[in-house]
Amino acid sequence: MTTQALLQVLASGLLMGLIYALIAVGLSLIFGLMDVVNFAHGEFLMTAMYVVFGLFLFTALDPVLFAPVAAAVLFCVGALAYLGIVRFAMRAKANQGMVQIFATFGLATLLQGAAQYFLTPDYRSIGNSWLGGKTLDLGGVFLPWPQMFGGLVSIAAFGGLYLLMSRTDFGKALEATREDQGAVALVGIDRNRVFALGWGLGAALVGLAGAVLAIFYYIHPQVGATFGLIAYVTVALGGFGSVFGALVAGVIVGLVEALTAAFLPPAMKSLGIFALYLGVVFIRPSGLFGKL
């Protein structure tokens, strides 16, 4: 493999990795806040992709413009999922872990079924957009603009998340609630409200990722399953609850996947990620940056 080809592989892997990080960070955020793994995370992504696709069909405007809309819609979806489902799952007295897994898995199945029933199982894609099909030539390394846009949105989102967590009252409330759920009630923070906002924020982040993916990826009811699994592996690799871990793990996953695909048959491209995950947790049982 020539240096040029290797650079191409690494550049594609890096861009996809930033998008994986953006998909995973919401999952990690929610887990860090309240120890709940959302098994419907992939389906949140799918919902965001359909939101962008639908708006594109009805307004004929460019999909790039809909990223904030998708984030806003998903914020509501996330907050509602907490208020309508997860809040009750957390009240379970027996085997809470399983109840949460299956309550959110039930939601995932329901969303998938609804997409299939109302939107048909067809594969859709957004045909022409400002960025679609255009590439940036960096001395022989070609970077597709949709993926570049995704990488930039991801970096911006992580920057914004950092500011939100460190500079705002909401960020402080989030941090305090994750440290000690009982104590925050004593200083007048409504735990339920923080959780609902946390779920909204986590879903809004995956909403951004979905909006970016919709520009260059096929949209179909099962799309969430593929990215969902990658998101779980990414979060566990980085360490559950660690925002920084999600960013680093996302990039690593993207690079490893691109390298595996370059050397093994395309069907085996996930093998590298899976092997990497097992390799890491067998040595460090709580992931790269996990505190557990």
- Footprint on this chain of another protein (rule: CB under 8 A): 31, 37, 85, 88-89, 92-99, 101-103, 105-118, 121, 221, 225, 229, 232-233, 236, 240, 265, 267-268, 270-271, 274-275, 277-278, 281-282, 285-287, 292
Q: Residues 6 or more apart from 100 whose CB is under 8 A from it?
A: 36, 37, 86, 89, 90
Q: Which is nearer to another protein, 117 or 142 (CB)?
A: 117
**If residue 261 lies in a helix (H) or strand (E), which one and from where to where?**
helix 243-263
Q: Which is nearer to another protein, 187 or 267 (CB)?
A: 267
- Measured CA to CA in angstroms, residue 169 lies from 52, 172, 242 at distances of 31, 5, 20
Q: Which is nearer to another protein, 109 or 181 (CB)?
A: 109
Q: Which is nearer to another protein, 169 or 282 (CB)?
A: 282
CB of 143 to another protein, least distance (A): 29
Structure tokens, 21: 């990080």
CB of 225 to another protein, least distance (A): 8
Degrees, nearest 5: CA angle 44-45-49: 115
Q: Which is nearer to another protein, 138 or 225 (CB)?
A: 225
CA atoms within 13 Å, Cβ hemisphere of 171: 10
Angstrom distance (rounded) from CA 149 to CA 16: 11
Nearest by Cα to 82 from 145, 26, 21, 5: 26
CB of 61 to another protein, least distance (A): 29
**If residue 212 lies in a helix (H) or strand (E), which one and from where to where?**
helix 191-216
Q: Which is nearer to another protein, 67 or 280 (CB)?
A: 280
Q: Which is nearer to another protein, 121 or 140 (CB)?
A: 121
CB of 116 to another protein, least distance (A): 3
CB of 96 to another protein, least distance (A): 8
CB of 117 to another protein, least distance (A): 4
Q: Are 78 and 201 in contact (CB under 8 A)?
A: yes
Residue 219's region, left for phi above 0, alpha for psi from -120 to 50, else beta, is beta
CB of 120 to another protein, least distance (A): 9
